[in-house]
A and B are shown apart, each in its own frame.
Chain A
Amino acid sequence: MKPISEMNFPETLRYSNEHEWITTENGTFLVGISDYAQEQLGDIVFVELPEVGATFSAGDEFGTVESVKAASELYMPIDCTVLKVNPALEDAPEIVNTNPYTDGWMLEVKPKDPAQLDTLLTVAQYMAMLKEKE
């Protein structure tokens, strides 16, 4: 695994303890997993995502990623409803490895309360948490 100092963590995102990110650009809320998470997983071969319309509370399992014979659960960063799932991941799950913050987004969601994003980690807080583990 590459060192945390060489990983990419965009400033504009909010992060969860479980390594998911959420962004609010252009009024759309997208959810995915961080560069750290995709590094931890290794080569991703399958992404299992929920149905459009499903509702979740923060911390709920919303899907799994399979890599190197390991199926890892994914957790929702906030209370929300799923509006869209990234259709590209069905045939090309490896884009989560190559572009975790752009083409590798997983869900578009409608937050129950957008203010809940403020409870998530900033990039500085998230990186501090990762460095504690290193």
Chain B
Amino acid sequence: MIAYTADLSLTPYETAWELQTRLVAARCEDRLDRDLVLFVEHPPVLTVGRRGGCANLSASEDELKHMGVRLLTVERGGDITYHGPGQLVCYPIVKLTDLPLGIAEFVDRLEELMIRTAADWGIEATRNPLNHGVWVGNDKLGSIGIAVRRGITFHGLALNVAPDMRHFDWITPCGLPGVKMTRMAAHTADPPPMAEVKRSMRRHWERIFSVTLRGLSPETVAGYTVT
């Protein structure tokens, strides 16, 4: 089986969010005829899932405004999350009913994807009964927050490769007090190059989901519209 992949590089959160909405509609109507795995990095931004309030925001709104960091409420699951450069974000637009895969199984595979990617740099990441995502010891390396619309997934996962860790002080990650975030670069001699981490994740995606990924240009992906 073939699935598509595209690398959107550094893209504002809102742009990628709006694009996902269009891609979900296109996938639902099969105008997008295969699943699509997007890779992206975002300029600094905070997002809150559907049920999360702002109780887990540590920075003041004035402070964030001053730094030009927006706080957006989005339709994914999970609590507050930070995205920023140096963090690999992956948005799978996947038709679960075609695989066929339950939501819990899909989330489990996304965790597996991050665990195997981290392992390529000798990092032993694990699942944690406390919370979904992947962990190194008691520190969180990668987060998951997805949405499902008419059987199609969007939003996705965020793996901390080498982001500026000071930005995580703006929030209580996942709404869990006492949880510390970590990044791959904290566990390697040199920071893993983002391009190599993406390549590794693509390769593991192919194995975990038994597909061959075929690259699409960002222009092709951006061309999908809502009819």
- A48 — which chain B residues lie within 8 A by C-beta? 50-51
- B149 — which chain A residues lie within 8 A by C-beta? 73
Assess the A1–B97 pair: CB atoms within 8 A: no
Assess the A71–B147 pair: CB atoms within 8 A: yes
Complex CA–CA separation, A39 to B144 (angstroms): 20
Assess the A70–B147 pair: CB atoms within 8 A: yes
CB within 8 Å for A70 and B77 given contacts A41-B104, A48-B51? yes
In the assembled complex, B150 has its CB within 8 A of some CB on chain A: yes
Contact with A along B136-156 (1 / 0, CB 8 A): 000000001111111001000
- Closest B residue to A75 by CB, please name it: B150
Which has the most chain B C-beta neighbours within 10 Å: A39, A41, A42, A70? A70
Complex CA–CA separation, A42 to B78 (angstroms): 15
Assess the A42–B77 pair: CB atoms within 8 A: no
- Which candidate, A20-28, A60-68, A81-89, A101-109, is the interface stretch facing chain B? A60-68
From B75, B100, B104, B105, contact of A71 by CB (8 A): B75
Assess the B132–A72 pair: CB atoms within 8 A: no
Complex CA–CA separation, A69 to B148 (angstroms): 11
Assess the B144–A134 pair: CB atoms within 8 A: no
Contact with A along B93-106 (1 / 0, CB 8 A): 00011001011111
User: Smallest Cβ distance from A121 to chain B, in angstroms?
Assistant: 16
Assess the B77–A66 pair: CB atoms within 8 A: yes
Assess the A41–B103 pair: CB atoms within 8 A: yes
- B132 — which chain A residues lie within 8 A by C-beta? 68-69
User: Smallest Cβ distance from B82 to chain A, in angstroms?
Assistant: 16
- Closest A residue to B145 by CB, please name it: A69
- B144 — which chain A residues lie within 8 A by C-beta? 69
Q: Kindly identify, within residues 1 to 38 of chain A, every residue whose CB is under 8 Å from any CB belonging to chain B.
A: 1, 18
Could you list 11 A-B pairs, sorted by A, with CB under 8 Å? Answer: A1-B105, A39-B102, A40-B96, A42-B102, A48-B51, A68-B104, A69-B146, A70-B77, A71-B49, A71-B76, A133-B97
User: Which residues on A are within 8 Å of B, measured CB to CB?
Assistant: 1, 18, 39-43, 46, 48, 64, 66-73, 75, 133-134
User: Which residues on B are within 8 Å of A, measured CB to CB?
Assistant: 49-51, 75-78, 96-97, 100, 102-107, 132-133, 144-150, 153
Other than the known A68-B77, A69-B78, A133-B97, what 5 A-B pairs have Cβ atoms closer than 8 Å?
A42-B103, A69-B144, A71-B76, A73-B148, A134-B100
